[in-house]
Each structure stands twice: as C-alpha cells, then as structure tokens.
Structure 1
Amino acid sequence: MKKLIAFAALLFLLPIPIPALAQGVVSAADPRATAAGQEMLRAGGSATDAAIAMLLALNVVEPQSSGIGGGGFIVHHGGGTGVLDTIDGRETAPAAARPDRFLGTDGKPRPFVEIWPGGYSVGVPGSLRLAERAHARWGKLAWARLFEPAIRLADQGFVVNARLAASLRQVAPVWKDFPAMRALYWKGGRPMAEGDTFRNPALAAILRRIAAEGPEAFYAGDNARALSDAVTNAPRNPVPLTQADLAGYRAKDRPAICGPYRQWTICGMGPPSSGALTVLQVMGMVERFPLATWGRDDARSWQVIGEAMRLAYADRDRYQGDRDFVEVPVAGLIDRAYLKRRSAMISAAKTLGRYDAGSPPGAPARVTATPGEVAGTTHFVAVDDDGDVVSWTNTVESAFGSQLTANGYALNNELTDFSHAPVEDGYLVANRLQPGKRPLSSMAPTIVYDAAGKPVFAVGAAGGRTIIMQVAKALIAHFDWGLSAQESIALGQLFFDKQGLVVEQGTALEAMKAPLEALGQRVSVAKLGLKANAAEKLPDGRWTGAADPRSPGNSLQQ
C-alpha cells in the first residue's frame, strides 16, 4: 500500500502535457466556404487543405466569382520551414489564340460586350492543377477529403444569397444566347432569387470524379471533351479549345516578389500577376511621407496615396506581362532608387496632373500592357496550428465568366485580360494575346513579415484593377494607422478613372472629396465592386481573421 501511495505521489509531481490551443483561422467570401475550411482544420488538415476546401466550396456557392473553370495564385508560408513559395495557376491561351482575335474588320478592338460572352474569352483553366501542386507539397489530409463539403453543398443544395441573386439578375439578359447556363440557374422562367434553394447535381458528379481520380478527371476524358465542346461549339464566338490544350496545362512555381515597407517586408505574387510589383511600388512611393502622423482623416494622406497609385499603374500598364513571353523589369520596378525618384514627383500640397510611365532600370524597348480587367474574383486566407499561412486568390473573371458551362461549373473569360490590340503606336504590346501565354492579372495575394521574419498579416481581394489598391490601402491602414485587419479592409477605398480620383460612395472617405479638390484633384464619388479577406497575428501570438463587410463573407477560428 505504501508503495502504491508513493507511486501515486510521483505521478502527481510529473508534468502533465497540456494540449496547445488551436491557432488556426480561415476567412472566405461566403460563410459556407469558410465552414468548409474550418472543417479541414478541425480534421487535422493543413492551411493548404483548408484553402482547397474553401476553393471548392466557393465554386458551388459563389459560382459567379471563381471555381474550377478558372485560375488563380497562391502565396504560401511554411511555418516549420520559414520558406515562402508562390504558385501560378493562371489560365493560358489555347493554341488557336492569335493576337488579332479581339479586333474587328476595321482593325480596331471590338467592344468588350461583343468579345466577353462565348468562346473567344475562355482560357485553359488552372485552378485544379494549382490545387494539386499545393496539396502534393503542403497537404495533410487525403485529396478526396477536401471535396466533401463542396459535394454536400452541390448535392443537398444551399440557399441563394443576395449577392448571387444580384449577379444572376445582372447576366440574365445575356443568357438568351446561353441555354445551358440558363438551365442551371433559372427556376420557373426566371433567374433564381434570394432565398431559393439551388442544387447542382452535375457539379456534384464531376467533383466526385475529381475527388476519386484526381485532376486528370478534369483535364482528360469526358470532362475535357465536354469543356472543349462548350468552347468550340459555343453559341457565340465559337473558337477551338482542344483536349490537347487541357492536357498540356501546368501550374508553375514562381519566385516570390518581396520588398521593404518601414520595418516590415511585403511579399506576393510576381508576373503574370501585377499585384505584388504594383503594391510595392505604391508602398515604396508613400513610405517617405508621415502617414502615421497625418492619419486617415487628413486629405494629405489620401493625396499622396492617390498620386502614388496613378504613377504605379502607369508603370504597370507599360511594362508588365507574362515573363515567359516578355521581358518584365521586375527588379527595376521596385528598385529603391527608382522609387525614390518617382516619389519625389509627389507633393502633399498639389496635384501632379500627369502620370506617365517611368524608366526603371532594365526597362525593355517601349511596350505597353493596357489590360482590360473587370471586377470579379474571390480571395481566401488560412492559417494552421503549424504556422503555415496561405493567401490565395481565384477567379473566373466576369460574373459567371464567359457564360459557358460544362458539368455544372462556369468557364472563365480570362482572355479578355489580354490587351485587345496587339500593337499600339507602332509598338508591340507586352500583354498581347499569344498561344500558351498567361494574361496579366491584378490579383494580389499577400503575406507580410515583421522585422524578425515572422508572418504577421495576410490579405487579398477581389474586384479587377481595384484589387491592388484594396491591398495597398489595407496595408497602410494596418501598419501606419494601427487599424485591425477587419477595420483595414472595411475602410473606404480610393481608386481612379480617366477623369481623376474616385472615392467610395457610402463611406467616411466621401469627406475627402472637397479637401482633395482643393489640392487640384478631380474627384468623383461612386460605388466600387470591392471584396477583401485577411488575417492578422495579434500581440499575444494568436491569429484572427477578417472579412469584408461589403460581402457576406466571414472568418472562423479553428
């Protein structure tokens, strides 16, 4: 008995392992997708597993914005290794694509409304090859497990929310020429409305096949034939996209683009994404100004942000494109001395008025990008217990992409992101359409590191060309103005058009209109199609998520 008592006392003195608190967090543009990511984390999955599950679920519940018929970019930080990786899953132009595809008989670009719906605009989808590559490197759960939430949603159905219903109303007039898409989303002779329950058995079926057989079930066999047929025999703008185009698609590792901002390091996706380079240009030009002192309610802050924005976009539209096809002066565009010269053009007291591209070190002979993106897309973020961080942007471009469908998913219209004229002022355009080429993108999945090299912030957005400025604004709001991730993405947005600056309608930023006009700016007030998601590391080491209040999205802890 004495021995038993002594043994019990010894056990009492031994340290008892206490399970670590779950640190995982997910954020997406729809609560049902966020729940899919949370489910993977709770099942022991990695941030990559959670992100893939969100990608697939978003295909079901947010089909107007993204899915397996599109493409995207991932920025991944390995918590155990500290290594930053980026993968390019951007769509490619099929072999039949030619630089003059979007020109009319007069040799001038045709109106967007004529080239967007139908076969002309469809690129070879990259989403599943991107997911496959990411899962092979950083996934923990079985590939098929990641599909379960999306299959449930497609099989059992989900309630159509206000955002999906609005997109359906928007494209309804076009669908008279697209009976396959109308058959999916119309009910009783009308587009499905908010509150209706939508089921997509065709999508559930192809997701089951991809879950069981891997991405080959998408890029070969029956699905490849169905996708090829949808484009080649499209009711509008039919053009070949072959099974060989699909079979030849590859996602690609790309070098991350990183640059300093005060004591932090901002990292993101390089060409064919213009996101990281343009964000870093904006940040590099505003860095010399005392934004933290001025604050968000001072017109001088928005004045210098607006000036830097237009100078950065001028460079973007001149120099950027797919590096596999054109020379992009990556190092030169974010060269510190170059950005210092560009920043010297900016005054907090008066407007520059003219925003020409500069001459960064290593710039090639004159070219221009002139892309034509529209507001669409989705972004999602995941962090797991191991400290892996994923920032992933995915898109089908316009609402429901090209308006073509195969097996229940929308096919992208990403080729309209190419410049519609291959030659401008006698010079070849960097972002001209060419077979196998990837169109320039504004997608800007981003991870930010502190001075110790630890990730502290992840962000990305949807909304075409506004994506870059949504990310830049969120970074300034968080790191200069001390706002939380949630407050940073919710803050009113500044953008621009051909006439001048645009401030977001219905936000506190409207108050900046008169002060900016007093500095010589032309300012309009308008609604902007914005949608961002983010995550931040709190001072106590925990991660928390953020979702744009402009969307139905949310964030969830593990």
Structure 2
Amino acid sequence: MSGVAARPSTPNPEHVSATGRKGMISTSHPAASAAGQAVLRKGGSAVDAYIAAAAVQTVVEPTMTTLAGGLAVTVYDPQTRQSGLVAGMVGLPAGEPGNLDEKGHLSGRTVPVPGWVHGAHAAWKRWGRLSWAELFTDAVVAARDGFVADQLLWGWTFEYRMAAGRYQEGRDTWFPGGYQFRVGEVLRQPALAGTLEQLAEQGPEYFYEGDFAKRYVETARRHGGRITLDDMAAAAPVEMPALPALPTAGGYEIHTVGALYGVLLSLSSLIETDDLYTRMRIMQEAWAYGLDEIPDFFTDPTASIEDTLAAVSPEAAEKLVPRVLHGKPRPFDAMSMGTNAIVVVDERGQIAHGTHSSSSPAFGIGLMTDGVIMPRPATLFAAALMKVPVGWGTSLLAMRDGKPAWVGGSPAISAVENVFQNSVNVLHRGMTPAESVNQPMFGASIAPSKFPMVEASFGDTVLEDLERRGVGITRVSPWELEMGSCQGIAFGEDGTLHGVADPRRIGQALGH
C-alpha cells in the first residue's frame, strides 16, 4: 500500500468522477476508496465498505478522524425502502461538567468517551456481510507498512504542529528523527497498527473494557482527566431503526438525520430566483429558523417528532419565502472540527452515507494512546460551544418516485452549505455530479468572523454585487478546503451509478 496511497497534488479527472453498474464508493482519500471498493468486490455490503474505508481514513487522514472520535452512518434498505441510523457519539465522562477554564482546555479533561468503534460495530452487526476482522485488513497494512504522506496531511499537521508534537508519542509519530514528516515520505504508525489488529481480533470489548481502555483512561487521568473505566464500559451506540422520510416542495423525498435539508431544498424549489445572493439568503434564513423555531423533540419535553416534522414540511418552508426575498442578511457562527464523509452503494442497492470524525481540532491537545489520537471534542465544552440549529446534518439521500436519485455528504464547517449547493445543482439545476463539484461555492464563516466564505472564482462582479446588497463576505481562494468535500453518487435512469469526489479534498470515486 505504501506505493499507492498518496493523494495527487492536483485533482485528477479520473478520480473526480466515476461510473459503475454494481457498486460505487466515494471518499476523500484514494486509499480509503480502494479499501471500500475491494470490500464491495468481495461481496461485502455498503456498510462493510463504509467501515473498511473509514478505518483506513483513521490512518491516512488522522487530522480528520480517529478511533477515539465519533461515527454515524445512515443506511437505506432497498427491500423496505426505509433508512435507519446507527451512531457512536463522543461523550463527556460522568464526572466531567465541561466547564473548562484556560488551563482545563489543555488538560486531560478534554478527553471524551469514544464512539467510533461502538458505532462501526453496531452498524456491522445490523448490516454487515463480511467478517468484522476483514474490514480492518487495509487499515492495518497502511499503519504497519506505511503510506505516502501527501501535501494535505502535511499542511494540516503543520497548522496544528504545536499540539501534534506536544507529547512523546506524538513526536515519535509525526516528527520522526526530530522533524515533522515530509511530503512524499512513507509514514508508519506501528502502535496504531497493533491497536487495529487487536480491535479486529477482539472487537469493541478490547477498546472499551480491555487493555486499550485501561491505557486510554490512565493517559487521560495522568494529565488531569476525569474519565474512568466505568465511563468506557457504559458507552453504547445510538440506533434509530427507521428514520422518517421528509417530503420537499420539489417532489423529492429525503432520508437524513439533517431535517434542515427539507427546508433548504423546499425553499430552493419555491423561489424562482437562482442567483448566488438568493442561495446564500436561503441558507441564512434556514439556519436562523433551525436555531429559533424548529422544535427539538430530543431536548424539549413539550415537543414531539410530529412537531419537528411539521416544522420542516413544504408548507412550513413556504412561509419562509418572504423572509428570504425581503429580509435582511443574517450572518451566523460556524464550528471547527475535523471530519470525513463517505457514500457507498452496493450491488444489492443498499446505500450507506454519513460522516466520522475526531469532532475536534486536529490532534486534540496532543495526547495519544497506542497510536490512537485522543480528541478534544469542540462542541462538548461550554467555552467552545456554538449553537447548532435543529436539523443540522452532514448527508442526505434524495428519493424520487420511490427510487434513489442522489446521495451526498460532506465534512468540514461548511458541510450543510456544501451538501445543499451540490444537491440543488444535481436535483434542481440538472447538473451532473462532476459539473456540480467544479462550480465555485460559498461556505460558512470562520470564527471570530461571521462573514461567510465565498470562493473568489465567482468573479469580482458577483462578489461586489453581494456586498452591495448587504451580504458581508470573506473572499477565499478557489478550491478552499473549508468549503467541505462533496462525496456523492447520482442514480441514472438506466441503472448507471455516477460517483463524484470533490476536488477540494482530492479524493476518489470508484465504481465497478
């Protein structure tokens, strides 16, 4: 794998777009896509391929994801035509209130209870076809034998270098010979390879109750953390057997945990104007609506799921149209965390889509256990928390007339903006997925600014018009990483799968 796992330095058209008849996967790293495709070719399910690809990404994209982070996957069953969700979320230890001061933000108190492994294992138990151990073969090889470090990994590591090399295990891993690894260097992670091998052999018990759990807790507590073995043993996945399907004004039905997409796609259909200003205003008003007006049945004891669904219906979206057309621009905060998105379709029509993430700035505070980065989940602590609207999500499946039409997901602070724009391009504007990801994009803001990013490739005339109309913006270079990375698949009428990997993260779509 060490000879084939490098990302190209510039987008390769053969990686950006692919077609297939039996299966398709799209991820942000060619090595992860290759691992998922190999599983599909062996007869594995979409979920098997998703886990295999995600495991490789914990090795080759460690600034985005870690086994100690979180994982969520939404799965469409072609037999029932319903989608279910399985998630393993990071959580605070029982004895950690989360009220960190300046010193606390650089301590073991930031270490969470991991969710990735529980989420992956629960999804595999429900939808997997291959053995659990088979799903980690390529990840073990990548960690043990090494992979070619690319410019994106080097750049992220350089940006967060003060955390990456703060402690000895980080220095041994990311600073071999005393210097940060170089682009083109083969990067080996033997400790992580050992953890992956034990996880493949023993399953979640090793991670949450066995030797790894003991060392993870000891490392965190040695640095002031409050996590305990009881916290690790009490961890459990979240499962929603059947997600409600959300109708939209454009005639599509979407399957997603991100109910806000129902509002976004309906508004896009209801409003005839289709310029950049209007698309950004749709995003702003939907975000504000999710913050203030959509009832959250998870946290509000007076609300029900029916209340939430009614608030994202086409009829509810229609009432927001005047706000979009006549209201004033409404900037909003965004968050910062590393994430990977994956979409997969297998030969039987099962579809898996979602994200897995460190839920943290890269490398957390620099702590590692047996090669596993211990993240600092930004949204769990009061001092770092920004309010997230009800219905926030990172992926969706759009159905038309009972058949899949498009599935897309994205990482990064601009995940919702990315999925919204690419979904509108494919579903409403008639673009191919490859045409869509090559369009300039707008994204979220980067704190402390509240001005959304807009790629300068829109051109001065368009950007000056936005500013003239009162939309404060931050101009950024083309192909900005913080715009996210659309991993998507469109379903042709003839059964052809059209996969796409966003050139912003230089990944790969692979079909067969």
Q: In structure 2, do the counterparts of structure 1 residues 253 and 376 end up closer, same or farther at CA, with 3 Å as the change threshold? A: same
Matches of 2:391 and 2:68, distance apart in 1: 17
Q: For 2:243, which of 256, 262, 272 is the aligned residue?
A: 256
Q: For 2:254, which of 266, 270, 288 is the aligned residue?
A: 266
CA contact (8 A) 1:47 1:383 kept: yes
* Letter paired with 1:251: P
Q: Deviations over 1:12-48 (max 9, x none)?
A: xxxxxxxxx8511111110001000011011111111
Report what 1:129 is aligned to: 118
Q: In structure 2, do the counterparts of structure 1 residues 239 and 256 end up closer, same or farther at CA, with 3 Å as the change threshold? A: same
Q: 3-state SS of the aligned residue for 2:259?
A: helix
Report what 1:445 is aligned to: 395
Matches of 2:62 and 2:238, distance apart in 1: 25
Q: Is it true that 1:534 corresponds to 2:488 in the alignment?
A: yes
Q: Deviations over 1:308-343 (max 9, x none)?
A: 211222233447898655456622531444322222
Matches of 2:294 and 2:237, distance apart in 1: 20
Matches of 1:64 and 1:287, distance apart in 2: 37
Unaligned runs of 5+ in 1: 1-20, 105-109, 270-275, 295-300, 357-369, 423-428, 432-438
Matches within 5 A, 1:351-430: 352-354=328-330, 373-397=335-359, 398-420=361-383
Q: 3-state SS of the aligned residue for 1:492?
A: coil
CA contact (8 A) 1:304 1:346 kept: yes
Q: 3-state SS of the aligned residue for 2:72?
A: strand
* Letter paired with 1:122: V
Question: By how many angstroms is 1:418 displaced?
Answer: 4.8
* Percent identity for Structure 1 against Structure 2: 24
Q: In structure 2, do the counterparts of structure 1 residues 441 and 186 end up closer, same or farther at CA, with 3 Å as the change threshold? A: farther
* Letter paired with 1:230: T
CA contact (8 A) 2:110 2:225 kept: no
CA contact (8 A) 1:279 1:469 kept: no
Report what 1:331 is aligned to: 309
Report what 1:554 is aligned to: 508
* Letter paired with 1:516: L
Q: Is it true that 1:455 corresponds to 2:455 in the alignment?
A: no
Matches of 1:70 and 1:373, distance apart in 2: 16
CA contact (8 A) 1:65 1:399 kept: yes
Report what 2:441 is aligned to: 493
Report what 2:91 is aligned to: 92
Question: By how many angstroms is 1:130 displaced?
Answer: 1.1
Report what 1:345 is aligned to: 323
Matches of 1:170 and 1:387, distance apart in 2: 41
* Letter paired with 1:379: A
Question: By how many angstroms is 1:219 displaced?
Answer: 0.8
Q: For 1:160, which of 146, 149, 152 is the aligned residue?
A: 149
Report what 2:13 is aligned to: none
Q: In structure 2, do the counterparts of structure 1 residues 248 and 490 end up closer, same or farther at CA, with 3 Å as the change threshold? A: farther
Q: In structure 2, do the counterparts of structure 1 residues 496 and 396 end up closer, same or farther at CA, with 3 Å as the change threshold? A: closer
Q: Deviations over 1:491-533 (max 9, x none)?
A: 2222354876534334336652122233333333125412221
Report what 2:283 is aligned to: 309
Report what 2:16 is aligned to: none
Q: For 1:484, which of 432, 437, 449 is the aligned residue?
A: 432
Q: Is it true that 1:519 corresponds to 2:472 in the alignment?
A: no
Name whichever of 76-85 and 135-144 sits farther off: 76-85
Matches of 1:441 and 1:243, distance apart in 2: 33
Q: How big is the alpha-carbon RMSD for the aligned residues of Structure 1 and Structure 2?
A: 2.7
**TM-score normalised to structure 1 length:** 0.80
- When Rg is computed on C-alpha atoms for both structures, the one with the higher figure is 1
Q: 3-state SS of the aligned residue for 1:57?
A: helix
Matches of 1:167 and 1:202, distance apart in 2: 21
Report what 2:4 is aligned to: none
CA contact (8 A) 1:400 1:411 kept: yes
CA contact (8 A) 1:503 1:509 kept: no
Report what 2:47 is aligned to: 48
**TM-score normalised to structure 2 length:** 0.86
Q: In structure 2, do the counterparts of structure 1 residues 499 and 98 end up closer, same or farther at CA, with 3 Å as the change threshold? A: closer
* Letter paired with 1:123: P
Matches within 5 A, 1:64-83: 64-83=63-82
Q: For 1:290, which of 272, 275, 279 is the aligned residue?
A: 272
Matches of 1:26 and 1:176, distance apart in 2: 34
